[in-house]
Structure 1
Amino acid sequence: MYLYNSADVIITPTPYSKSLLESYDLNKEIYPISNGVDVAQFNPTSKQINEFTQQFHISEEDKLVISVGWLFERKGFDTFVEVAREMPRVKFMWFGDVRLSNPTSKIKKLLKELPENLILPGYVSGDIIKGAYGRADVFFFPSREETEGIVVLEALACKTQILLRDIPAFDPWMQDRVNCYKGKTNQDFIDYINKIINHELPSTIEEGCKVAKERDLLLIGKQLKEVYEKVESL
């Protein structure tokens, strides 16, 4: 609280995180400005996709669901594992450093009993992760709590079909059945993944890409500049 009250203004990524800060009665101007994404960089090429598929032996016939993040319960890693276990004919990949995630006892138990269709490549960056976004049939992000979710912005920019847990952090900028799909239960997620990979639902990819473009770093830089200039004039 001392740090917040020492500031002239506060910048936070989303309307949701702004509402949390407002509940603290800080008496500070709070600006919701996205962390942003480099849309030009997160634009997978055929070469990047091919490098990814070759490295992890992903065939053209494989249906692929991915996620990115720490292996935390808060991030929904346990949900990801449970859903993968129920869908043995679909390949699941979670990108994130296992050791640095400092897994809890529950996550450690899950790691010892992973289903055969779930791959944990560890932390992957650069061309390979862009290729993963580009190749995936679904980016499934079952996080239980976020301020924004930078990996969601990356997936949107890469034109990946998005499936989210329905949590307040994604309101109102991520809209169910408009620029993403949202679920609340494991069965919701299973049903959505099945329908997406079987092309039984309309794509939300193009609308999702618009969200990323509205949060391109060049635009975010201009928004930040305006706030900094206001602070200078105080």
Structure 2
Amino acid sequence: MKVHVVSETAYMIKGNGVHTAFVDHVELLKANQDLETVVNNEERGDVMHSHTYGPFYFWKGLRYKHKRVFTAHVIPDSIKGSLPAWKLWMPFVKWYFKQVYSYADVCIAISPRVEEAILESGAKTKIERVYNPIPVDRWKCSPEKRRQGREILGIKEDEFVVLGVGQLQARKGVEDFMDVAASIPEARFVWAGGRPFGPMTEGITRIDTRIAESEGSNIQFTGMLDLDKMPLIYAAADLMLFPSYQENCPLAPIEGAACGLPVVFRDLAEYTTLYERPYLKASTTDEFIRLTREMMSDSKKLEEGKSISQALIRQFDKHEIREKLLNIYQYLYESDLQRAASKFPSFQTT
């Protein structure tokens, strides 16, 4: 069987979680020799699996009727705090995503909230819940990675480093991250991420003003980084804060956890149904500040946070997720063979 994996992020700015998920997916499929994988190719596959929802998805899918798989990384609520004037966009966004979901024969929901959103859209499609896999070996920390990461950032070994990862937009909580940094001047704060959508980013002027005002302080902004640099950036940190206001199945905090970092999430309802194990959480900026100070001053708390992270990542085991994906592909492949056999009795399915 041959799987054709499609993602428009390969031709765009790559500093976002969807592109990382696409790269992880391709690596996962190619890890074994039990199927063939082609990527954004003119070569025909038996099943198509897309990670993006633009014209490329609809165009490539024309040749894959009854054999389309779509991973829903984004839902209509994802535009809140991401795009300016999002309330005006929302009716169109809801309509468009219904078309996207309906075009697929199987929609992969990466979290319970995504599954709900697909159902709420009224799309007629089969839904399967499959989490984003985490290639733990890529993110695993080492003394050499830590040294290289701190060298890139210009940070001394004895400094306590707090990391934030995400696009520079309101939805990701970057302004809250800056508030925490301002309250803890004795620590170094690093935000890794840029703006894939440029001026079409909610709060761009407000956030840029604050970044300019923070120049020379204890916080630095790396801008967009290539995927191969991110393991070094995670390794350079001691603690990760993830203050995002809306997420589905975010990769960044699990990547940080796989690196061995304690990760403090914002207390969101989505996470209570997504994560099967306990996680550190904060409801307010004051709570983020308190937990950060606790981690800085209490080595026992820091080690407990690391243990929580190691337990959390077990849910995203790549081997189990690969098996689920293969079952989906096999289902569509066999269904198509049976359809052909019923339409053309002389067609052989063996």
- Which TM-score applies when normalising by structure 1? 0.88
Alignment of 1:112-191 (within 5 A): 112-114=212-214, 116-125=217-226, 128-174=229-275, 179-191=278-290
Q: Could you say which structure has the larger radius of gyration?
A: 2
Structure 1 residues 50-65: aligned runs within 5 Å: 50-65=147-162
Which residue matches 1:108?
208
Aligned to 2:183: 86
Check conservation: 1:16, 1:171, Cα contact below 8 A: no
In the alignment, the residues of structure 2 paired with residue 114 and residue 162 of structure 1 have an alpha-carbon distance, to the nearest angstrom, of: 24
SS at match of 2:128: strand
Distance 1:89 1:145 in 2: 29
1:16 and 2:113 correspond: yes
Which of 18, 28, 51 does residue 125 from structure 2 map onto?
28
Name stretches of at least 5 consecutive residues in structure 2 with no aligned partner.
1-97, 336-350
Question: Is contact 1:72–1:101 with CA below 8 Å preserved after alignment?
Answer: no
Q: CA deviation at 1:156?
A: 1.4
Output one character per residue of 1:28-73: Cα deviation in whole Å (capped at 9) or x when no partner: 3322211211111111221111111223232233111001111010
Give the SS at the match of 1:171. Answer: helix
- Within the candidate set 118, 122, 139, 1:42 is matched to 139
Q: Distance in 1 between matches of 2:290 and 2:296?
A: 10
Q: Distance in 2 between matches of 1:227 and 1:43?
A: 30
Point out the more displaced range, 19-28 or 133-142: 19-28
User: Which has the higher mean CA deviation after the structures are superposed, 74-83 or 130-139?
Assistant: 130-139
Q: Which residue of 2 aligns with 1:228?
A: 329
What SS does the aligned partner of 1:40 have? helix
Query: Which structure carries more helix by proportion?
Result: 2
- What's the CA shift for 1:192? 0.9
Q: Distance in 1 between matches of 2:220 and 2:113?
A: 33
Of the candidates 299, 312, 319, which is equivalent to residue 218 of structure 1?
Answer: 319
Alpha carbons of structure 1 residues 7 and 124: separation in structure 2 relative to 1, 3 Å:
closer
RMSD after superposition:
2.2
- Assess, with a 3 A threshold, how the Cα gap between structure 1 residues 108 and 55 changes in structure 2: closer, same or farther: closer
State the 1:130 CA deviation: 1.6
Contact 2:149 2:235 in 1 (8 A): no
- How far the C-alpha of 1:169 sits from its partner, in A, is 2.9
Q: Distance in 2 between matches of 1:138 and 1:217?
A: 25
When the two structures are aligned, how many residues end up with a matched partner?
A: 232
In structure 1, distance between residues paired with 2:196 and 2:226: 17
- Give 5+ residue unaligned stretches, structure 1: none
Q: CA deviation at 1:179?
A: 4.1
Distance 1:181 1:101 in 2: 32
Q: Which structure is richer in relative contact order (CA contacts within 8 A, separation 6 or more)? A: 1
Distance 1:99 1:10 in 2: 25
The amino acid across from 1:84 in the alignment is A
Runs of 4+ residues over 6 Å off in structure 1: none
- Give the conservation status (yes or no) of the 8 Å contact 2:243–2:266: yes
Residues 176-226 of structure 1, C-alpha deviations (whole Å, 9 max, x = no match): xx6431111110110111112212636132332233243133332211111
SS at match of 1:61: coil
Residue by residue over 1:124-144, the C-alpha shift from the partner in whole angstroms, topping out at 9 and shown as x without a partner, is: 345643233223221101011
Partner of 1:198: 297
Give the direction of change, closer, same or farther, for the CA distance of 1:153–1:36 in structure 2 (3 Å limit).
Answer: same
Cα contact 1:48–1:127 (8 A) shared by 2: no
SS of the aligned residue for 2:139 comes to coil
Distance in 1, Cα, partners of 2:230 & 2:255: 10
